[in-house]
């Protein structure tokens, strides 16, 4: 605890943690049911994440627990390993280890480079998945494990809907969407819906599915256990879970920073989240991440330090041990209504409102990620999205780069000295000017121009305006120099004064290939040397 921690701050943390815990309760139960692991798994996950991520994380005001995106991936694991809860929770345990490794190698800062269209398409896809998966429970029927199956079964579900469940769902949706903000600030609308919906169901003795008995005791410890043949699938899903949890948590950390005017420690946050997910797996809880809504509620209620996050976890633990018997009567249609709002809130309305003005390339990436997320596979969606976004970025950078040949009669010149020398040497000096990044996306242009240089005496390769050069660019440069020398053409290289680039060139042997006078840092010096070379020939 930091120095100067006051009684006022302590009161604020208690209120923030208490309020966040109340908000988290219906969501934890709903996520647990939606995941297929049961309501208690949601509570266990909220408690483990709430305590460990708060104690060891790098965002003091962040509240962590099961979230919609993490629940969707966990539910996919439940479908992939039917009935094998040991393997499923091993995935969660390994995902925590992966997050700790991310933090140890300081990869937390790299999340800011994740292309926004990928995040947007993925999060909107997650929102649609949640909405589709909750259609059956909303109508009083048993839930389905696939969003495609849920969409296909909608006509059947509408024909066999439970009237009582539909009334409860409608009541829940009206409460969570229409409760005035001034009331929600004091008593969260999901909690109001949970209480009102349960009371209505009990008073009118409605025939609907309920979440069932919840153990009123501390959970047993389950050590990771799996079949060796399943290890590749387990590791793949663990990495996907870790990546999503990392993005989810650090985006929430950014939100917390903007509200508190502080700065989080991303790598420490990943370690805290990793420990939280490992703890959740050991007690049979859902995986989770930093939860934006609960974090905002905590801060607005007065939370300023990690004490508030710990309080949130302890509140949920007290509810588990004291009120579990009453939670058994909560109707599933009520939880489905609460999750319906969660799914709708996850949709990226900011990008959807700008859909007509968004660049087509970004729209293509977002659309591809969205469709693959909903209809194919979550892990493939992220991989395809990042690959597409990288290709689009490469294409844009390559378009901005140019490689031009100067030194033909009647052409334009950089300065009078160049023009004079060209005329005096009968245009035996050519200059290749590279503008912009020189990397694998622009090397093809360089190769195209080599054939145009035959018959020239000296070629100046002007790279003064190259901000960076990757290995492909360096190799292309090396191949060009080698080919020019094989044609008995003198190559001169003009480089920006960059020590790192000099080291790379020397390591590749370009310095030896070019000779003692082959590398310059001033274009006019290279021109003068080229003229002397022609004169001495």
420: tokens are 């004079």
Q: Are residues 284 and 412 in the same domain?
A: no
Quick check: is 233 in a domain?
A: yes
107-111, 196-200, 232-236: segment of lowest average pLDDT: 107-111
Quick check: is 368 in a domain?
A: no
pTM beyond cutoff 0.85: no
Kindly indicate the confidence band of residue 425, based on its pLDDT and cuts at 50, 70 and 90. low
Q: Are residues 416 and 285 in the same domain?
A: no
Q: Are residues 98 and 193 in the same domain?
A: yes
Which residue has better confidence, 507 or 268?
268
Kindly indicate the confidence band of residue 501, based on its pLDDT and cuts at 50, 70 and 90. confident
Q: Are residues 329 and 426 in the same domain?
A: no
251: tokens are 């985006």
Q: Are residues 114 and 243 in the same domain?
A: yes
Q: Are residues 57 and 197 in the same domain?
A: yes
Q: Are residues 41 and 186 in the same domain?
A: yes
Quick check: is 251 in a domain?
A: yes
Print the domain residue range for 411.
402-536
What pLDDT is stored for residue 412 in this prediction? 45
Quick check: is 45 in a domain?
A: yes
Quick check: is 352 in a domain?
A: no
What's the whole-number average pLDDT of the chain? Answer: 84
Kindly indicate the confidence band of residue 524, based on its pLDDT and cuts at 50, 70 and 90. confident
Kindly indicate the confidence band of residue 270, based on its pLDDT and cuts at 50, 70 and 90. very high
Point out the domain boundary residue: 329, 347, 365.
Answer: 347
Q: Are residues 340 and 421 in the same domain?
A: no
Number of structural domains (the chain) is 2
Quick check: is 13 in a domain?
A: yes
* Helical segments of 144-188, H only: 147-152, 154-159, 163-178, 181-184
Quick check: is 363 in a domain?
A: no
- Residue 323, C-beta contacts closer than 8 angstroms, at least 6 positions apart: none
Q: Are residues 275 and 418 in the same domain?
A: no
Q: Are residues 334 and 435 in the same domain?
A: no
For the segment 290-340, what is each residue's pLDDT rounded down to a tens digit?
A: 988 789 878 877 889 999 999 999 989 988 888 767 777 889 899 889 888
For the segment 469-497, what is each residue's pLDDT rounded down to a tens digit?
A: 877 778 888 888 888 888 888 889 888 87
Q: Are residues 343 and 406 in the same domain?
A: no
CATH number at residue 431: 3.30.750.24
**Nearest CA-CA partner of 45 in 17, 67, 75:** 67
Quick check: is 419 in a domain?
A: yes
Q: Could you give the CA distance from residue 392 to residue 279 in angstroms, rounded to a whole number?
A: 40
278: tokens are 């490992």
């Amino acid at each position: 605890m930091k120095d100067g921690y006051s009684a006022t701050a302590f009161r604020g943390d208690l209120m923030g943690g208490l309020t966040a815990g109340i908000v988290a309760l219906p969501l934890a139960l709903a996520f647990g049911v939606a995941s297929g692991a049961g309501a208690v798994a949601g509570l266990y996950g909220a408690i483990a994440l709430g305590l460990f991520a708060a104690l060891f994380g790098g965002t003091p005001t962040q509240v962590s627990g099961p979230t919609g995106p993490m629940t969707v991936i966990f539910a996919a694991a439940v479908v992939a390993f039917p009935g094998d809860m040991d393997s499923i929770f091993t995935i969660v345990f390994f995902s925590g280890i992966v997050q700790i490794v991310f933090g140890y190698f300081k990869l937390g800062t790299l999340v800011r480079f994740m292309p926004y269209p990928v995040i947007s398409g993925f999060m909107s896809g997650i929102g649609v998945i949640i909405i589709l998966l909750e259609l059956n429970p909303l109508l009083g029927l048993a839930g389905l494990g696939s969003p495609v199956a849920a969409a296909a079964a909608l006509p059947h579900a509408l024909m066999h809907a439970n009237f009582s469940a539909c009334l409860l769902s409608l009541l829940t949706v009206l409460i969570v969407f229409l409760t005035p903000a001034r009331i929600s600030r004091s008593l969260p609308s999901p909690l109001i819906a949970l209480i009102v919906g349960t009371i209505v169901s009990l008073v009118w003795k409605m025939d609907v599915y309920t979440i069932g008995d919840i153990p009123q005791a501390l959970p047993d410890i389950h050590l990771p256990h799996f079949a060796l043949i399943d290890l590749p699938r387990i590791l793949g899903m663990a990495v996907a879970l870790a990546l999503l949890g990392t993005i989810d948590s650090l985006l929430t950390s950014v939100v917390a920073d903007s509200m508190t005017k502080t700065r989080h420690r991303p790598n420490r946050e990943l370690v805290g989240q990793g420990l939280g997910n490992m703890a959740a797996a050991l007690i049979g809880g859902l995986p989770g991440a930093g939860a934006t809504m609960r974090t905002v509620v905590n801060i607005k209620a007065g939370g300023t330090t990690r004490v508030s996050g710990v309080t949130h976890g302890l509140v949920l633990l007290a509810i588990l041990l004291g009120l579990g018997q009453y939670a058994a009567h909560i109707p599933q249609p009520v939880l489905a209504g609460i999750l319906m709002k969660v799914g709708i809130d996850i949709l990226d309305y900011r990008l959807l409102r700008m859909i007509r003005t968004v660049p087509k390339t970004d729209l293509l990436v977002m659309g591809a990620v969205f469709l693959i997320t909903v209809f194919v596979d979550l892990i493939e969606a992220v991989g395809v999205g990042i690959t597409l976004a990288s290709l689009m970025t490469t294409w844009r950078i390559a378009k901005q780069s140019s490689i031009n040949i100067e030194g033909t009669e009647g052409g334009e010149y950089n300065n009078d000295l160049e023009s004079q020398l060209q005329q005096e040497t009968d245009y035996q000096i050519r200059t290749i000017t590279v503008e912009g990044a020189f990397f694998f996306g622009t090397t093809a242009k360089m190769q195209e121009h080599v054939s145009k240089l035959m018959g020239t005496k000296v070629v100046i390769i002007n790279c003064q305006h190259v901000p960076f050069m990757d290995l492909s660019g360096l190799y292309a440069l090396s191949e060009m120099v080698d080919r020019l020398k094989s044609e008995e053409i003198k190559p001169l290289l003009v480089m920006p004064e960059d020590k790192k680039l000099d080291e790379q060139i020397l390591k590749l042997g370009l310095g030896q290939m070019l000779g003692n006078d082959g590398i310059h840092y001033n274009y006019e010096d290279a021109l003068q040397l080229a003229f002397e070379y022609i004169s001495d020939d």
